[in-house]
Each structure stands twice: as structure tokens, then as C-alpha cells.
Amino acid sequence: MNIIPKLAGVCGWPIHHSLSPVLHNYWLKQAGIAGAYIPFAVSPEDAIDAFRALKRTSIMGVNVTLPLKGQAFQAGDIATDDAQKLGVANCLYKSKGQLVAHNTDMEGFAAPLLERMGANQLQNGSALVIGAGGASRAVLGALLSLGVPEICLTNRTDAKAEDLVSQVDVPSLYAVPWAQREIAVARADLIINASAAGMAGKRALDISLADARSNALIYDLIYTPRVTPLMKEAESRGLQTLGGLEMLIAQARPSFRLFYGQLPPAEADPTEILFDALRTGIR
């Protein structure tokens, strides 16, 4: 009997750096599924046509990374609620002959947070979000869905935080000027770095945690390095931390299910193979 392998992949421009193939191919092997997950370089000008052509192939679906998430959203015949909330898609899959644009970033951000803090604590606390780019939108969407009652947003360029706050337009979310970021640190139970500051090769985030609450959780979305300068400072002050790799893994799990028909095996923890791939550069 011939077994037809199930194919999926990740599209970006460039794409060679993506960790998603390491993650999904590891899960495929652990689950014993005959399949493969392949990186595809897709040029931004051709992306919408390339995505629409998925319906004419045997590819089950694709994840989509920078800078193609807007085109992925446009290419879908329909969009899920999570994709509509963000206006961008990181996952395209086929259902009943239609191409569905979906976004797993909010779920990916929320899952490790819920495990660590619990819904009750989140619904009775306040959050500070640092950064006003694409990741920040997913973070805000997730925090609002989780019912966090007070959310401050601060960004190095104040105007971008103010813009994002007025786009989202809910009373529980407000912008704090960058100059007052440390006042906001002192008021937050949850501090999220959704900025690029602190990534390997970039400057550390210019925020002191000296006045942070002793029970505050510091969630840094960055996963290279594994322990960011912000997380190091938090640890030295006895604060709890959560790193970005948990989010990376948690946003991939629902995509895996959509492409291959089942969740990755619960006992298959890809953390170490991902760090090996980051350390060696081998994908």
C-alpha cells in the first residue's frame, strides 16, 4: 500500500532562519506521521497568487511569517475570528474547498501565560506591554480576550503606542509615555516585552525593574538569547520570568493539528532541539 505523505510548510522572505521546520518535523517523527514540513521562500509580490494556488496542490497548509502575514490574510477565502481581530494571518489551511486565513499568535501567547498565572489572577491584575509592532497587537488581543482589566502600552516611539491604542479603542487599554515607563513598571502584575530590544545582536531594553512588584511576572517574547538581559535582571531581583520559546511552541501546536489532523504528542518537548538549532544554526 502506498502511503501519501502529508505536506505542509512555512512561507517567508527570507525563510532560511525559521525554526518552524525543526519544530514540526520533530513532532511528525515523534507522532509517527508520514509527512514533511518544508521552508518555502515566497517573494512578497507573488505571495497572494502563491497562497491562492495552494488550493490546487496537495499541500495541507502553510504557516506564514514576516513580511507576508498581510498578504496571507488577503489571500484567504475566509478568515477566522482570531485572524480578523489582528488583520493578519500566520496560518493558511484548506477546509471544504476553501482557503482559510487563521492566526495562532494570540493562542500561542496566551497558553503559557495561562499555565503560569491562571485566568483568575489575570482577571484581577494589570499588565504593561512594551512595544507597538506586530507582536504587540497579538499580545493586546490575547490580554483583552483573557479579560485583563487594565493594560498599559508603552513604546520607544510614543506616537506608535498612541496610534495602536486608538485603533484598538477599548477603555481598559491606555498608552503611557516612554518617559514614564518605570512608573508603569511599578503598577503592573505582568510585564511583557513585545519589542525587539534585547534580541541577540541588538541593544538591551532600556527599562529598570527596580520598582517592579515582588510578585510580578516578566514575560519576554524574545527567544534568542534564551535568557534575555531583561529576564536576567528580573531573576536577579527574584521576579518570575517566562521566555519567548514557550510562545513559539504554543503557536505552532494548533497549526500542526490543522495540517496533520492531530495535536503533537503531549510528551514530545522540542525545547532542547530548538535551542540546539539556534546554537548551531543548523535547521
Site for ligand NAP in 157-216 (CB under 6 A): 157, 160, 194-197, 199, 203, 205
Site for ligand NAP in 69-108 (CB under 6 A): 108
Cβ atoms 241, 218 nearer than 8 A: yes
Applying CB under 6 A, among 52, 116, 156, 283 the residue interacting with ligand NAP is: 156
Grid cell for residue 17: 532562519
Is 55 annotated in the active site? no
Instruction: State which H helix or E strand residue 13 sits in.
Output: none
> Burial, 240: exposed, middle or buried (Cβ in 10 Å; 0-12, 13-18, 19+)?
middle
CB of 266 to ligand NAP, least distance (A): 20
Q: Which of 69, 85, 94, 160 is catalytic?
A: 69
Grid cell for residue 176: 503611557
Grid cell for residue 154: 508603552
Tell me whether strands 126-130 and 190-193 are parallel, antiparallel or unpaired: parallel
Applying CB under 6 A, among 19, 110, 113, 135 the residue interacting with ligand NAP is: 135
Q: Which of 282, 276, 256, 219 is nearest to 25 (CA)?
A: 256
- 34 CB neighbour count, 10 Å cutoff: 10
Give the helix, strand, coil percentages of the chain, each rounded to 5.
45, 20, 35
197: left (phi over 0), alpha (psi -120 to 50) or beta: beta
- Cell 515582588 identifies what position? 214
CB of 87 to ligand NAP, least distance (A): 13
Between 28 and 230, name the residue whose CB sits nearer to ligand NAP.
Answer: 230
Site for ligand NAP in 213-252 (CB under 6 A): 221-223, 244, 247-248, 251
Between 60 and 192, name the residue whose CB sits nearer to ligand NAP.
Answer: 192
CB of 161 to ligand NAP, least distance (A): 8
The span of 26-34, 77-85, 154-162, 209-217 binding ligand NAP (CB under 6 A) equals 154-162
Between 117 and 192, name the residue whose CB sits nearer to ligand NAP.
Answer: 192
Between 94 and 253, name the residue whose CB sits nearer to ligand NAP.
Answer: 253
Using CB under 6 A as the binding rule, whether residue 132 contacts ligand NAP is answered as yes
Q: Which of 101, 109, 61 is nearest to 85 (CA)?
A: 101
Between 63 and 251, name the residue whose CB sits nearer to ligand NAP.
Answer: 251
- In the complex, which residues of this chain contact ligand NAP (CB under 6 A)? 108, 131-136, 155-157, 160, 194-197, 199, 203, 205, 221-223, 244, 247-248, 251
Give the catalytic positions in this structure. Answer: 69
